[in-house]
Amino acid sequence: MEFLNGNAINTTAGIGALALFDGGAVVGGTISGGTFALFDDAAAGGAFTFAGGGTLEVGFPQHLNLNILSAAVISGFAAGDTIEIAGNGASTTGPANGVTLLPGNVLQVVAAGFVFDLYLDPNQNFTGQSFLLTSGGPSNRNFFVTLSQTIISSGTAFISAGQSSNGIEVISGGTLVVLSGGTAGSTTVSGGIEIVSSGGIDRSAQIFGGEQDVRGTASGAIVFGGSQVVESGGATSNSTVASGGTLAVLSGGTAAATTINSGGSEIVSAGGADLAGQVAGGEQDVFGTASGVTVFAGSQVVESGGLASNTTVANGGTLDVESGGVADPTVILSGGTENVSAGGTDSGAQISGGAQLVFGSATGATVFTGSQVIESGGTGVGTTIDDGGTALVLSGAHLGSSVVASGGLEIIATGGTAGKANVHSGGVLSAFGFTNSATVAGGGIEVVGSGGTASSTTVSSGGILEVLSGGTASGFNVLPGGILEFGSGVPVSGFIVSSGVTLVANHTTVSGAVVSSGGILDLVNGATQSGTIVSSGGTLEVGSGASLSGFAVSGGATLEVAGGGVASNTTVSSGGGSPYFPAASTI
């Protein structure tokens, strides 16, 4: 049915369509499953009542009369009803598209740059409901106003300022735009697109496919498939990324308290930021910045240009710092692992039961328990090794300026190097490679094993430098009270034992040694001597398992034979010190 330049009064549009064109006038009407259309300069007044679905269609007027329905009241508008604004090439400039319910139930629609005021029944209660504006038709020039739409399968729907919508599903081909001031709750994205504009809010979305682009704020989303993309200025909180899902944080975007489950992934782009994320089996790739992340399982990968600060790696978790990436600092708990690749850097790691494997650079680490392993090509500087901790320097690796505290152990493997190690009381430095300029404090010990070399070690009072079979020590400085011990198979020739210094010969041979006043030469476990000169004030000790035969104690010198030691054919010259034989054997 059409009325051209005609009039209609209280007309009902059932199945089919009723159209009113240029110059026509209508006073009231009922829309019940059909379409009631007003075009061009048609005039409408009275009450239009929706009664069980249908469409009220309003055309863009030829003469810019935007108030075709200015004298009409629309009542009964409910879910399933549609108000269509039919386009004809109208302007695309002006305010952003959207729909807003104003006081008095005035529904203001902004479409294609024009503003329409639709007067809904002022007595109708729309509390808890939301209005959506979608586009479609030829070239997307038609706009549709609906109430509490639940499925968007084509075109674009808008949630405007002041509006709130819950339970919308966006399927393939559909787009939902949450404008500034609008709120979407419990949205389901299944192949479609949701855009949360700057100033817009989305809560508790579920993404099964498609994409959610966040330029405003989104919280509590679960990404089962597809992706959540945090764009510049956007922020997400408490997102969960499940298997098959992806969270991408672009430059200028921020994600907080994200959980990445097994099979899920998060990509933090350069300029993006992640705060306090939890990796629980998935993977987080950091090209930007991540801080306060905990890796329970799965991995955090710090890529070139990326920075991870205050990451905690728990049992089953892995932190990989790639070339050009930086971790500062890291906490590695028992069962956790950090891999610092060649070109990667870690600063200030705290290792508490886990392992740090360094192929790149590590500075300022503290090993409370667990281990730091410097791999070939890797370097470490300033590591502190506490009680129960171990630092292992492998072939081709270097560790400098370390501190070996009580109960700590530093091992330099064959081909590895260490410089300026500080061994405190109770600490052990074990060298099968090369050490240079180590300092051994009282109660500390440096052990040079087979193939190892210790150069320029300083041994303080109470400290020990022990050279085992196959080991070499040179340029050392044993201070008064310090102990130098040579083990089995390490011959000692022409050594001068200075005042306050103890030279322990353990199952080896000493020849031509000179024991100065205040110095001590201690022979133990089968050690022998020949040509030893003990100066006045010097001491020669024969300890357990050692024997001495035909030695002459000159004036002022002391010979001590301890329990288990044997001295035979000993001669004490005039003025010589009295030999001391505590539980010893003399012949």
The sign one gets for the Cα dihedral 476, 482, 487, 493 is: positive
CB distance 278 to 255 below 8 Å: no
Question: Average pLDDT of 268-297?
Answer: 98
CB distance 330 to 314 below 8 Å: no
For residues 376 and 20, the model is more confident at 376
Q: How high does pLDDT run on average in the chain?
A: 87
Determine the residue type at 408: G
The pLDDT confidence band at residue 64, using thresholds 50, 70 and 90, is: very low
DSSP state of 364: S
CB distance 66 to 98 below 8 Å: no
The pLDDT confidence band at residue 110, using thresholds 50, 70 and 90, is: confident
Q: Which neighbouring-strand residues pair with 428?
A: 409, 445
The pLDDT confidence band at residue 16, using thresholds 50, 70 and 90, is: very low
**pLDDT value of position 347:** 97
**pLDDT value of position 563:** 81
Does position 490 have pLDDT exceeding 60, yes or no? yes
The pLDDT confidence band at residue 166, using thresholds 50, 70 and 90, is: confident
Q: Which neighbouring-strand residues pair with 207?
A: 189, 223
DSSP state of 557: -
CB distance 440 to 422 below 8 Å: no
**pLDDT value of position 154:** 86
**What is the pTM for the complete model shown?**
0.75
The pLDDT confidence band at residue 43, using thresholds 50, 70 and 90, is: low
Residue labelled with tokens 């969270």: 247
How far is Cα 353 from Cα 57, in angstroms, rounded to an integer? Answer: 71
The pLDDT confidence band at residue 15, using thresholds 50, 70 and 90, is: very low
How far is Cα 279 from Cα 258, in angstroms, rounded to an integer? Answer: 8
CB distance 352 to 368 below 8 Å: yes
Q: Where are the domains positioned within the chain?
A: 1-149, 162-291, 487-587
pLDDT digit string (tens) for 527-551?
888 888 999 999 999 988 888 877 8
**Tokens of residue 153, six digits:** 């399968």
Q: Supply φ then ψ for residue 45, to 5 degrees.
A: -150, -175
CB distance 337 to 321 below 8 Å: no
CB distance 113 to 90 below 8 Å: yes
R_g of the chain computed on alpha carbons: 43
DSSP-assigned letters across all residues of 157-173: EEE-TT-EEES-EEETT
The pLDDT confidence band at residue 333, using thresholds 50, 70 and 90, is: very high
Does position 162 have pLDDT exceeding 70, yes or no? yes
pLDDT digit string (tens) for 497-525?
989 999 998 988 888 889 999 999 999 99
How far is Cα 564 from Cα 439, in angstroms, rounded to an integer? Answer: 33
